[in-house]
Structure 1
Amino acid sequence: MPRPRSLHPDRLAEAALAVIDRDGLAGLTMRAVAAELGMSTMALYRYVADRSELELLVADWCLRDLDTSLPPAPQWTDQIKILVLRVRDQIGTHQQAVPLLIANRQRSRPLLRWAEAVTTVLDAAGFTGTDRVIALRGLVGYLNGALLQEHLGALGGTGTETIAAQTDFPMMRDTARAARHVSPEDEFAGGLDIVLRGLSRSGPAPAGPASW
């Protein structure tokens, strides 16, 4: 197959994401992406070194329009919530790519810009040193875990229905039945609110608005 005269990284990312959306993350191979682009596998290696580089391109592309500007809000916790929700909204329908965002969280420039915005808010709210490290890690841990959980199946999914039908664990049965009425959006935002309330109460920050 002839080599394209020019192949932009965005085109590579789009092709890789098309493979992931169609075949799942396990289907992402150099061969599959090359076929998606209509080129030979060897030709693809002229543009990316390996699958790891492809994965980073996908992570960056999924978050290419992520707004990392500091949102105006009355409370610093509101600012954090907006920043976190922006990540979930940006992923959109590409749930299969969520593990790539997590794996590349320390390499992806959009995610690093997002983390810079979050730590700026935390710093203004009074989190410094190890307090800021732990606060950031807690927020990132929730974000990653919640996105991965939603990727695997939201609260009211088929696994929950299985639990709701059994009798050996009555509390889990009743909780699973209640989960039928929880939307993925409410599940994500509700968990985030719990994390932010904990940060507000236990951290060094006042509950008032952030100052710059």
Structure 2
Amino acid sequence: MPRPRSLAPAQLASAALTVVDRDGLPALTMRAVAKELGTSPMALYRYVTDREELAALVVEQVLTAVDTSPPAGGNWRERAAALVHRMRRAIGGHPAVTPLLPAHRHRSPTVLRWTETMLGVLTDAGFAGTHRVVALRALLAYTVGAIQLEHLGPLAGAGTTTMAALPPADFPYLAATAADARLVGPDAEFDAGLDILLRGMDDGG
């Protein structure tokens, strides 16, 4: 029997990401990734213990290019927004990976560095203790949630069209809001929502 060829972690991550981008997150299995690499599923266990470890590699593969250095200049809201936008740009190219972020954030060196930088920005703004904890979680929740909405339930999608056509007598606010929603682009939606969040955090600080 020929000896199985060696695989670098980057090869595993790249193959796994290809599977997710092409077939969706449920398709991420050891068997599917092995097929993508042209090897056997058992060969992958030389490098990862299970699907969860494989998923962590995918997260880092997507985020590895994120600039985690402190943004220069601007007030704290502008610096926090810059960090969030860096994350959005990276994840936006691979939206199917988004659900993996909350579960594997502690395994990603990039997420850890990004979080450390964001905490520095929040600390400079006067956030401390549990207030800083909640502020960080709010920013993470917005980033992950907004990206999922953008790709799974976009304002330009069929769902908005359906809600805009609801009978105004029964859904006056929803129908009118859905009609307006079709005029909002994804970047404008993300920026405006983030601005609301950051201003609210500033007022509460």
Task: Give the TM interval when normalised to the shorter protein.
Answer: over 0.9
Q: Distance in 2 between matches of 1:2 and 1:152?
A: 44
Displacement of 1:85: 0.5
Aligned to 1:125: 125
Which residue matches 2:160? 160
What is aligned with 1:61?
61
Q: Which has the higher contact order (CA 8 A, sep 6+)?
A: 1
Cα distance, 1:4 vs. partner? Answer: 4.6
Report the Cα distance in structure 1 between the residues aligned to 2:46 and 2:153, rounded to whole angstroms. 37
The Cα of 1:3 is off from its aligned counterpart by: 5.2
Q: Partner letter of residue 180 of structure 1?
A: R
Tell me if the contact between 2:92 and 2:147 (Cα under 8 Å) persists in the aligned partners.
no
Partner of 1:72: 72
Q: CA deviation digits over 1:124-169, x for unaligned, max 9?
A: 1111111111111111111121122123122221111111111131
The structure with more helix, counted as a fraction of residues: 2
Q: Which amino acid aligns with 2:185?
A: S
Question: 1:196 is matched with which residue: 192, 195, 198?
Answer: 198
Structure 1 runs not aligned, ≥5 long: 204-212
The one of 166, 172, 175 equivalent to 1:173 is: 175
Per the alignment, residue 14 of structure 2 pairs with 14
TM, length-normalised to structure 2? 0.94
Percent of aligned pairs sharing the same letter = 56
Instruction: Structure 2 unaligned segments of length 5 or more: list them.
Output: none
What's the offset of the Cα at 1:177?
1.0
**Does structure 1 residue 95 correspond to structure 2 residue 100?**
no
> How far apart in 1 are the matches of 2:173 and 2:127?
38
The separation in 2 between residues aligned to 1:166 and 1:95, in whole angstroms, is 29
Q: Is the 8 A contact 1:56 1:107 kept in 2?
A: yes
CA contact (8 A) 1:3 1:39 kept: no
* Structure 1 equivalent of residue 144 of structure 2: 144
CA 1:65 to 1:187, structure 2 compared with 1: closer, same or farther past 3 Å?
same
Aligned to 1:134: 134
Q: How far apart are 1:107 and its partner, in Å?
A: 2.3
Work out the CA distance in 2 between the residues paired with 1:25 and 1:99: 9
1:183 corresponds to which residue? 185
- The count of residues paired between Structure 1 and Structure 2 equals 203
Moved more, 193-202 or 92-101: 92-101
Q: TM-score, normalised by structure 1?
A: 0.91
Q: Deviations over 1:95-124 (max 9, x none)?
A: 111111232123222111111000001111
